[in-house]
């Protein structure tokens, strides 16, 4: 078993380069299936979710060639079967984007049903299904697989019941090859939705309005190959920004799009940090103490839910009592029990967490319950006094590239250590 060992407290100082966006990459890699020629994707993050997406493509019959660490050439022109193997797909929730892409390309596809919850609440896919059915597909669940099939996809007018990134992306993937016009209303406006639209358009699709509430897609018969560079990861950038503020640090976060970080910048400034914006970097510093703030997560351009656990750590060492409201997921506070072990004072009632600032957290053995919870525990380990051991780091490595190296580059005392399972068992026993 691998763990992160962190010796705190640390003050982060220096520069960190942000990788390509996970949530854009896991949508754009399946989209390559729609092209009738090879594609080249640049600024690919080296993380487990991307490796799984590439592995799925390979299993479907695509040829994958890494040109260098961040550039991949994908030839998906000869697909063997439009069905995503169960064993690989179940390891990643976003594998359901292959369904939209296969439906767009072959009018038929099957992937494993995505897992239930990984941070406490339910994660339904009813809006994906509603979208596919509106385009004329028949959708069924069979032996744990979700299957969609259409004679011909026909453009349609779809009003999503709630704002969902996943359904917006999945239905876009299918609609680019549907016959006629598709209008999607009440769509997600996240940077990765816009990035996917830009990639599809660079292949010859006709997608307009991404980044607004309404996306209009005029279906085309053929999509060509393209070379495309994935946007920087908004959440990885935000994680380092929060870590810098929490550790009283001075960090230049490079390779970012500052516009994507505005909601994060606003909250850090309100809490007492200073954020300077440059063309493709932000510098986060802090001189005075951290202050309480109230925070509500919302779909973009609101404050991202994927930074809520990291902010909870920062607020747990801020002066006063802060209130966090989770506005996207029913429940995203599974990590709070772990933070309590480190001395945080957080009370949760449904979607609301009341965070009472304490002087100091103390290091403890903790477990990453999901990806962003894991990132939050790293920040907690950096601000805490003494040693923190983070278990279940596979969750973190799904979405953060070289996370220990990057934090070490900023002065953190953090190491990934392989602990033999037997020793762990003995220690537990
Ligand atoms: N929802 C429905 N029906 C659906 C789909 C979603 O009711 O068919 C609800 C969800 O239950 C939730 C809300 O809509 O309450 C928003 O869900 P959304 O579909 O936007 O989430 P997602 O696409 O499953 C993506 C990110 C998540 C991020 C959310 C919200 C990817 C691969 N995942 O998930 O990222 O939290 O959007 O921004 O893009 C992460 O990176 O750690 C992560 C979990």
136: left (phi over 0), alpha (psi -120 to 50) or beta: left
Give me the domain span that covers residue 149: 22-229
Q: What is the CATH number of the domain that holds 179?
A: 3.65.10.10
In the block, which residue shows the tokens 């797909």? Answer: 89
**Mean per-residue pLDDT, 158-187:** 98
Q: In a 3-state reduction of DSSP, which class is residue 313?
A: helix
Among the residue ranges 80-89, 151-160, 236-245, 388-397, the one predicted with the least confidence is: 80-89
Do 34 and 128 belong to one domain?
A: yes
Do 223 and 246 belong to one domain?
A: no
> What confidence category does residue 371 fall into, taking pLDDT thresholds of 50, 70 and 90?
very high
**Mean per-residue pLDDT, 68-91:** 89
Do 241 and 194 belong to one domain?
A: no
Atom 10 (ligand 1): residue with closest C-alpha? Answer: 123
User: Where does a domain end: 229, 244, 266?
Assistant: 229
Do 114 and 11 belong to one domain?
A: no
Q: CA torsion 331→334→337→342, rounded to 10°?
A: -110
Do 138 and 63 belong to one domain?
A: yes
Q: Per residue in 242-268, pLDDT tens? A: 999 999 999 999 999 999 999 999 999
Do 26 and 12 belong to one domain?
A: no
Q: What is the DSSP letter of 319?
A: B
User: Where does a domain end: 198, 229, 260?
Assistant: 229
Mean pLDDT of the chain: 95
Q: What is the DSSP letter of 190?
A: -
Residues contacting ligand 1 via CB (< 6 Å): 23, 26, 94, 123-128, 162, 164-167, 188, 305-306, 328-329, 371-372, 399
Do 15 and 149 belong to one domain?
A: no
With a CB cutoff of 8 Å and minimum separation 6, the contacts of 408 are 414, 415
Residue whose CB lies within 8 A of the most ligand 1 atoms, among 31, 47, 93, 165, for a mutation test: 165
- For residue 5, CA distances in Å to 145, 190, 243, 380, 390 come to 39, 33, 17, 12, 7
Report how many domains make up the chain: 2
Q: Per residue in 134-166, pLDDT tens? A: 999 999 998 888 999 999 999 999 999 999 999
User: Where does a domain end: 214, 229, 244?
Assistant: 229
User: Could you give the count of Cα atoms lying within 13 Å of 128 in the half-sphere of its Cβ?
Assistant: 26
Q: How many CB atoms lie within 10 A of CB 66?
A: 12
Do 262 and 370 belong to one domain?
A: yes
Do 110 and 241 belong to one domain?
A: no
- Ligand 1 centre to CA of 188 (Å) is 10
Do 283 and 413 belong to one domain?
A: yes
Do 115 and 253 belong to one domain?
A: no
Establish whether 117 is a catalytic residue. yes
Distance from C-alpha of 120 to C-alpha of 306, rounded to nearest angstrom: 14
């Amino acid at each position: 078993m691998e763990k992160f060992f962190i010796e705190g407290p640390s003050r982060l100082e220096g520069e960190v380069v942000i990788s390509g966006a996970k949530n854009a990459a896991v949508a754009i890699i399946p989209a390559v299936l729609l092209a009738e020629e090879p594609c080249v994707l640049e600024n690919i993050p080296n993380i487990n979710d991307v490796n799984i997406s590439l592995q799925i493509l390979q299993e479907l019959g695509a040829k994958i060639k890494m040109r260098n660490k961040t550039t991949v050439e994908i030839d998906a022109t000869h697909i063997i079967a439009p069905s995503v193997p169960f064993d690989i797909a179940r390891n990643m929730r976003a594998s359901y984007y292959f369904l939209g892409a296969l439906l767009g390309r072959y009018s038929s596809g099957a992937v494993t049903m995505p897992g239930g919850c990984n941070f406490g609440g339910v994660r339904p896919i009813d809006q994906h299904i509603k979208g596919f059915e509106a385009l004329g597909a028949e959708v069924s669940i069979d032996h744990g697989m979700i299957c969609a099939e259409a004679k011909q996809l026909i453009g349609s007018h779809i009003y999503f019941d709630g704002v969902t990134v996943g359904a917006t992306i999945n239905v876009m993937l299918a609609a680019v090859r549907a016959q006629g016009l598709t209008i999607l209303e009440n769509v997600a406006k996240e940077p990765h939705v816009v990035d996917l639209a830009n990639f599809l358009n660079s292949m010859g699709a006709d997608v307009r309005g991404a980044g607004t509430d309404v996306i209009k897609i005029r279906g085309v018969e053929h999509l060509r190959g393209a070379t495309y560079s994935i946007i920087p990861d908004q959440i990885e950038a935000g994680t380092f920004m929060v870590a810098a503020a929490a550790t009283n640090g001075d960090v230049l976060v490079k390779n970012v799009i500052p516009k994507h970080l505005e909601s994060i910048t606003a909250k850090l400034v309100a809490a007492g940090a200073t954020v300077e914006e440059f063309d493709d970097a932000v510098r986060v510093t802090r001189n005075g103490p951290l202050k309480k703030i109230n925070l509500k997560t919302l779909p973009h351009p609101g404050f991202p839910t994927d930074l809520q656990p990291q902010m909870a750590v920062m607020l747990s060492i801020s002066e006063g009592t802060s209130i966090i409201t989770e506005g996207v997921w029913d429940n995203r506070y599974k990590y709070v029990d772990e933070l309590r072990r480190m001395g945080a004072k957080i009370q949760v009632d449904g979607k609301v967490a009341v965070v009472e600032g304490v002087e100091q957290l103390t290091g403890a053995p903790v477990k990453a319950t999901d990806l962003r919870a894991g990132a939050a525990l790293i920040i907690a380990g950096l601000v805490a006094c003494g040693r923190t051991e983070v278990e279940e780091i596979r969750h973190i490595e799904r979405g953060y590239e070289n996370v220990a190296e990057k934090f070490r580059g900023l002065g953190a005392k953090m190491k990934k250590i392989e602990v033999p399972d037997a020793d762990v068992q003995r220690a537990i026993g």
